Structure 1
Amino acid sequence: MKLLVVLLTVLAGVWLWKRGRQRQVPPRARPAPAPTLPMVRCTRCGTHVPGDEAIAGQRGTYCSTAHRRESEGA
């Protein structure tokens, strides 16, 4: 009877040890975040807009074509 208890204890210990090792998988590397876009200020109203959405004019950058026309008269 003692042998059965010792055998069950050893088997339970081995099972717990193997189970703990399986969960120690190294974490996956997170992908690098996307680069941020520079924000530019509208020359007319001062609103900040992403650089790729800004409208370039002769006197600066604008948030819309209407503001570019109002400021430059074009």
Structure 2
Amino acid sequence: MKYLIVLVVVLVGIWFWRNNRRAALREKAQSRAAAKPVAGPHQHATEVVECAVCSLHLPRIDALPGGRGMYCSEAHRRQAEK
């Protein structure tokens, strides 16, 4: 009889331990998911263009538009459009 009681106590202890472990793993996964940035419609990839003179790749925001393409500097734009 005493072995049966010991067995029940051990099984209940294992059950509590497993439930606490699962809850801790679930919280850890939720905190990781909350910490990761989620790509959404507000995050856009930067478009890269090539300078028509020197073939330098740069973001479209920094490029200078010209009649024959995009340029990395004013000097290259003037050089290409002579």
Provide the TM-score with structure 2 as the length reference: 0.66
Q: What is the RMSD of the two structures over their aligned residues, measured on CA atoms?
A: 2.4
* 1:8 maps to amino acid: V
d(CA) in 2 for partners of 1:52, 1:68? 16
Taking the TM superposition and a 5 Å limit, the aligned residue runs for 1:43-58 are: 43-58=52-67
Between the aligned partners of 1:71 and 1:17, the Cα distance in structure 2 is 71
Percent identical across equivalent pairs?
A: 30
Unaligned runs of 5+ in 2: none
Higher relative contact order (CA 8 A, sep 6+): 1
**Uncovered stretches (5+) of structure 1, i.e. residues with no partner:** none
CA-to-aligned-CA distance 1:9-64 (integer Å, 9 cap, x gap): 12312212312330235542641163212211111111111111110112221011
Q: Could you state the TM-score of these two structures normalised by the residue count of structure 1?
A: 0.71
Q: Count how many residue pairs are aligned between Structure 1 and Structure 2.
A: 73
